[in-house]
Amino acid sequence: MSTLADHIEAHIKRMLRSSQTNSVELSRAQMADDFSCVPSQINYVLSTRFTLERGYIVESRRGGGGYIRVGHVQVDNSYTHAISLLQSIGSELDDKQMENILAHLKDRHVISSGELQLIRGIVQQEVGGMSQGKNVLRASLVRSLLFFIMESRS
């Protein structure tokens, strides 16, 4: 069952797909009215589902003429972008950062849904019983698994 956040995310993604410029300007108040929710719900969706790790840039200007602009980060080659993203992973990676990276790569068709689930499962199994060092191991596993998947395709 979809949540309100899922519906808001899908709506914004539909708008982006139909946009000629790969960006859209939104009114937080108007969207809140359209979805019968509070404006903070729109903020929540934008801050959790339209992050740079997922390939989006969100600009916001508050006030009477305020707007929110959401755009896709433009890259020539998805794999080049993915390699760059993987190389930017530091020595530690928390669960939320991992989910954002995986969702971004899935959205860009660099990895499949099945590969996303496989990576998530392996990482959860390996770090689940640990009390310390989870973020270090998670970073290493995600980087290694994604490099393996991408190398096996070339």
Confidence (pLDDT) at 75 = 52
Residue 76 above 60 pLDDT?
A: no
Write the CA distances from 73 to 16, 50, 84, 92, 107, integer angstroms. Answer: 12, 11, 13, 24, 12
Residue 131 above 90 pLDDT?
A: no
- With cut-offs at 50, 70 and 90, classify the pLDDT of residue 5: very high
Confidence (pLDDT) at 8 = 96
Residues 97 and 58 in one domain: no
126 or 65, which is more confident? 126
Confidence (pLDDT) at 66 = 66
Residue 1 above 90 pLDDT?
A: no
In this prediction the pTM is 0.56
Residues 65 and 114 in one domain: no
Residues 68 and 134 in one domain: no
Residues 91 and 146 in one domain: yes
58 or 8, which is more confident? 8
Domain containing 10 equals: 4-72
Average pLDDT over residues 124-148: 90
**Mean per-residue pLDDT over the chain, rounded:** 85
Residues 30 and 89 in one domain: no
Residues 3-15 as b/e (b if ≥16 CB within 10 A, e otherwise) read eebeebbeebbee
Residue 138 above 90 pLDDT?
A: yes
